[in-house]
């Protein structure tokens, strides 16, 4: 407690800006009040002043006008499925008793010596059986998916995870529509069912006719910096957990911890680590931490009363609930709750948000319009809802709302200052989205990349610069996104950089990371060929083994280049000591200036941007001085006490990941296994 009081007393005396900054920031540290700000809401389902449980506010949806019931978020009684949600099956071709025959056929494949020692071939043959059943008897599809789950030992909870009220209906749709005997089937097996399948190479690109115009040669002259800077907030991966149970097991052995229904198998009758009021390393963000973070951000950034010029939110509002605990209402509740808090607690300035893979139900699933009919529109409820919320908060115009509803919640905004913000729904290249495995060999089945290209072409025609905002990163270690679409995205970045694309922003990993894009698909990696940078934002959630953090950029108001980036963090391992008192909440402290930490040995003007060239020079410094990679590794986890060291092969791998803007480049060039500090 003495240490907390000392920290609080000095926090108002230190400024958190780098020497080169022309902006004034707030104190270097801020300790949030220990008492929950009960004035945030008019009414609660429980006593919001109690420290033994998280506040449960009564949330009214301004779009649907629904008041969400306490049963939706009651931490003591977590639902195991929501039967009112539709779980769509593909239209049937015919119906008969085919399930048992399909089961027998797959079982026979397992005993056939041709397939017994080749699980990849057995997987592909099994998918052929599954496709036939999905077309002829779709109502039997989920049951067969459960059988496949058990047969291939995919999960210990097959009945729950792949049942008709979870992913069973989704997979039945995919099997009915996919080319399971070709590229789709091979990728389905490789990604979900059988690691023995080799990852197919990236498909050859044919860009004929893709771009309306060739890249200008010479490029238009770069815009002249204004010398004036704007503060822009980058928030990512909030993952608020309205079912967080204070005092529950924070060190559980499976599932999301700090939940009343999850325990430590070695101590089932008592908590090994009772869940602290403000969160823990294996848990998502409790309401108390959410409020503390949003109270801290304006103070630390020095924007009290003025707000940010704008904010980018790179996705994932919703907690990491098991599939069967999710529902449409749960997704919409979280969207309503957090967008409202962003509006009311961050001050003025629009928030430009992208959907994360957890901001959907089923989780990570988004169907492409190419499926046609009812299947094509099955996620429109979510696109309509978030678009209406963004309009309600006054962040985007009616024209952008129309784009979001038509383009999987992706939209573009032409700001009056000359910047175009383009958001993407990156579930459409995420490996965990089953719908991506239908017509996967096509360049752009969803149309998302065509939408992006058209917006960038229009920005080029109007002399605008652009920011691209999404969730699932296109590159880094190659484990998150599919090869073909991110390879194509890389070519789009090459075509429109550096004169149009100023910066790219991702989230998803919860970690502080970065990727550089080079010309000609990175066949020549150098400072001269570096084109664009993607910033991967740190998460608010501590999951997994990370500190909580956020970032503020200093942005030139004419070029929209980033001149410096400032990151703050909160030490999650200090949270347990806050439970015994109500005076002090979490402390968010200034972590580092990007320019100051990485630019010491680089000749660079004080007002020159932290662009792709600068970042490539940083990677050259890392090659010469591995200690700089050690620093990067520590900052990647927001200096969590649980971050493992990066030594040996990890050093070269981190540099390689930084130079990989697409999954295909990373898979081809980089050693695997060093991408995360979790």
Q: What's the Cα-to-Cα distance from 606 to each of 567, 595, 622, rounded to whole Å?
A: 19, 9, 21
pLDDT band at 108 (very low <50, low <70, confident <90, very high): confident
Q: What is the pLDDT of residues 112-150, one digit of tens each?
A: 766 666 788 888 899 999 999 999 999 999 999 999 999
Spans of all domains in the chain? 99-193, 234-669
The confidence score (pLDDT) of residue 515 equals 98
Helix (H) or strand (E) holding 298: helix 287-301
Q: What is the pLDDT of residues 382-398, one digit of tens each?
A: 999 999 999 999 999 99
Mean pLDDT, range 620-627, rounded to an integer: 98
Closest CA to 643 of 582, 591, 566, 587: 591
Neighbours of 603 (CB within 10 A): 7
Burial letters 225-234, b for 16+ CB under 10 A, else e: beeebbbbbb
Q: What is the pLDDT of residues 643-664, one digit of tens each?
A: 999 999 999 999 999 999 999 9
pLDDT band at 268 (very low <50, low <70, confident <90, very high): confident
The confidence score (pLDDT) of residue 13 equals 32
The confidence score (pLDDT) of residue 1 equals 36
The confidence score (pLDDT) of residue 80 equals 87
The confidence score (pLDDT) of residue 4 equals 36
pLDDT at 2 > cutoff 70 = no
Distance in angstroms (rounded) separating the CA atoms of residues 441 and 48 = 52
Q: Higher pLDDT residue, 536 or 1?
A: 536
Distance in angstroms (rounded) separating the CA atoms of residues 159 and 144 = 11
Give me the half-sphere count of Cα atoms (radius 13 Å) on the Cβ side of residue 655. Answer: 22
Q: Which residues contact 647 (CB under 8 A, 6 or more apart)?
A: none
Mean pLDDT, range 570-596, rounded to an integer: 96
CB 126 within 8 A of CB 154: no
CB 657 within 8 A of CB 468: no
CB 644 within 8 A of CB 511: no
Q: Which residues contact 380 (CB under 8 A, 6 or more apart)?
A: 405
Q: What is the pLDDT of residues 307-339, one digit of tens each?
A: 999 999 999 999 999 999 999 999 999 999 999
- DSSP class per residue in 471-516: SS-SSTTSSSB-HHHHHHHHHHHHHTTTTTEEEEEE-SSSS-EEEE
The confidence score (pLDDT) of residue 116 equals 60
The confidence score (pLDDT) of residue 279 equals 98
pLDDT band at 177 (very low <50, low <70, confident <90, very high): very high
pLDDT at 17 > cutoff 60 = no
Q: What's the Cα-to-Cα distance from 556 to each of 420, 506, 560, rounded to whole Å?
A: 14, 20, 5
Burial letters 59-72, b for 16+ CB under 10 A, else e: bebebeeeebeeeb
Q: In the structure encoding, which two tokens stand for residue 80, read together?
A: 């195991």
The confidence score (pLDDT) of residue 143 equals 94
Distance in angstroms (rounded) separating the CA atoms of residues 209 and 218 = 21
Closest CA to 627 of 639, 645, 653, 611: 645
Mean pLDDT, range 142-167, rounded to an integer: 91
Q: What is the pLDDT of residues 197-255, one digit of tens each?
A: 888 888 888 888 899 999 999 999 999 999 999 999 999 999 999 999 999 999 999 99
Measured between its terminal Cα atoms, the distance across the chain in Å is 29
pLDDT at 14 > cutoff 50 = no
Burial letters 385-395, b for 16+ CB under 10 A, else e: bbbbbbbbbeb
What average pLDDT does the chain have? 93
pLDDT band at 193 (very low <50, low <70, confident <90, very high): confident
Distance in angstroms (rounded) separating the CA atoms of residues 507 and 403 = 22
The confidence score (pLDDT) of residue 397 equals 97
The confidence score (pLDDT) of residue 19 equals 43
* Phi, psi angle pair for 273, to nearest 5°: -140, 100
Q: In the structure encoding, which two tokens stand for residue 459, read together?
A: 């920005």
pLDDT at 10 > cutoff 60 = no
The confidence score (pLDDT) of residue 536 equals 98
Q: Hey, which residues does 556 pair with through a beta bridge? A: 229
Q: What is the pLDDT of residues 331-361, one digit of tens each?
A: 999 999 999 999 999 998 999 999 999 999 9
Distance in angstroms (rounded) separating the CA atoms of residues 404 and 388 = 9
Output DSSP code: residue 240: B
The confidence score (pLDDT) of residue 8 equals 33
Q: In what order do the strands lie in the sheet with 351-353?
A: 29-33, 584-593, 562-570, 548-556, 229-235, 310-313, 351-353
Q: Hey, which residues does 565 pair with through a beta bridge? A: 553
Q: In the structure encoding, which two tokens stand for residue 663, read together?
A: 């999954």
Distance in angstroms (rounded) separating the CA atoms of residues 173 and 455 = 31
pLDDT band at 269 (very low <50, low <70, confident <90, very high): confident
> Tokens 């990007």 label which residue?
594
Q: What's the Cα-to-Cα distance from 190 to each of 122, 273, 333, 444, rounded to whole Å?
A: 12, 38, 35, 21
């Amino acid at each position: 407690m003495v240490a907390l009081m000392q920290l609080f007393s000095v926090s108002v005396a230190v400024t958190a800006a780098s020497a080169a900054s022309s902006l004034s920031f707030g104190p270097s540290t801020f300790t949030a009040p220990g008492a929950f700000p009960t004035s945030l809401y008019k009414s609660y389902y429980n006593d919001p002043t109690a420290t033994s449980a998280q506040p449960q506010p009564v949330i009214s949806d301004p779009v649907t006008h629904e008041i969400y019931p306490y049963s939706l978020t009651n931490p003591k009684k977590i639902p195991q499925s929501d039967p009112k949600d539709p779980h769509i099956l593909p239209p049937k071709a015919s119906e008969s008793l085919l399930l048992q025959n399909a089961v027998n056929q797959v079982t026979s494949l397992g005993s056939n010596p041709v397939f017994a020692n080749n699980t990849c071939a057995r997987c592909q043959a099994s998918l052929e059986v599954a496709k036939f059943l999905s077309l002829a008897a779709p109502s039997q599809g989920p049951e067969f998916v459960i059988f496949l789950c058990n047969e291939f030992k995919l999960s210990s909870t097959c009945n729950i995870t792949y049942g008709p009220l979870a992913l069973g209906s989704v997979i039945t749709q995919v099997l009915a529509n996919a080319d399971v005997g070709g590229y789709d089937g091979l990728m389905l097996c490789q990604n979900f069912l059988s690691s023995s399948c080799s990852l197919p190479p990236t498909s050859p690109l044919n860009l004929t006719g893709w771009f309306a115009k060739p890249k200008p040669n010479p490029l238009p002259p770069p815009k002249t910096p204004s010398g004036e800077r704007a503060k822009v907030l980058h928030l990512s991966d909030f993952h608020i957990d309205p079912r967080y149970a204070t005092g529950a097991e924070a060190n559980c052995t499976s599932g999301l911890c700090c939940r009343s229904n999850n325990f430590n198998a070695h101590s089932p009758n008592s908590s090994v680590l009772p869940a602290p009021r403000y969160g823990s390393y294996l848990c998502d963000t409790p309401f108390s931490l959410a409020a503390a973070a949003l109270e801290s951000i304006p103070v630390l950034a020095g924007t009290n009363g003025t707000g940010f010029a704008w904010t980018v939110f790179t996705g994932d509002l919703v907690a990491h609930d098991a599939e069967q605990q999710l529902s449409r209402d749960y997704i919409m509740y979280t969207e309503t709750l957090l967008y409202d808090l962003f509006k009311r607690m961050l001050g003025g300035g629009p928030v430009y948000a992208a959907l994360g893979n957890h901001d959907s139900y089923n989780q990570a699933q988004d169907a492409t319009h190419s499926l046609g009919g009812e299947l094509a529109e099955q996620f429109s409820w979510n696109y309509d809802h978030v678009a209406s919320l963004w309009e309600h908060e006054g962040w985007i115009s009616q024209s952008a709302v129309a784009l979001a509803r038509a383009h999987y919640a992706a939209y573009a905004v032409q700001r009056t200052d000359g910047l175009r913000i383009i958001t993407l729904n990156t579930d459409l290249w995420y490996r965990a989205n089953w719908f991506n495995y239908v017509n996967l060999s096509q360049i752009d089945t969803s149309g998302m990349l065509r939408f992006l290209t058209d917006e960038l072409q229009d920005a080029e025609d109007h002399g605008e610069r652009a920011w691209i905002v999404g969730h699932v990163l296109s590159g880094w270690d190659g484990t998150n996104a599919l090869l073909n679409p991110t390879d194509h995205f890389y070519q789009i970045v090459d075509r429109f950089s550096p004169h149009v694309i100023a910066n790219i922003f991702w989230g998803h990993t919860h970690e502080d990371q970065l990727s550089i894009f080079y010309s000609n698909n990175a066949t020549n990696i150098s400072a001269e060929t570096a084109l664009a940078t993607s910033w991967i934002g740190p998460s608010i959630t501590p999951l997994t083994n990370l500190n909580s953090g956020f970032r503020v950029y200093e942005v030139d108001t004419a070029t929209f280049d980033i001149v410096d980036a400032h990151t703050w963090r909160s030490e999650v391992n200090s949270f347990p000591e806050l439970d015994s008192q109500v005076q002090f909440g979490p402390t968010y402290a200034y972590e580092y200036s990007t320019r100051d930490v990485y630019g010491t040995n680089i000749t660079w003007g004080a007002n020159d941007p932290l662009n792709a060239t600068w970042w490539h020079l940083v990677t050259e410094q890392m090659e010469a001085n591995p200690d700089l990679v050690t620093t990067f590794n520590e900052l990647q986890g927001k200096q969590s006490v649980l971050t493992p060291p990066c030594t040996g092969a990890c050093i070269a791998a981190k540099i390689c990941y930084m130079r990989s803007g697409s999954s295909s480049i990373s898979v081809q060039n980089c050693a695997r296994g060093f991408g995360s500090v979790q």
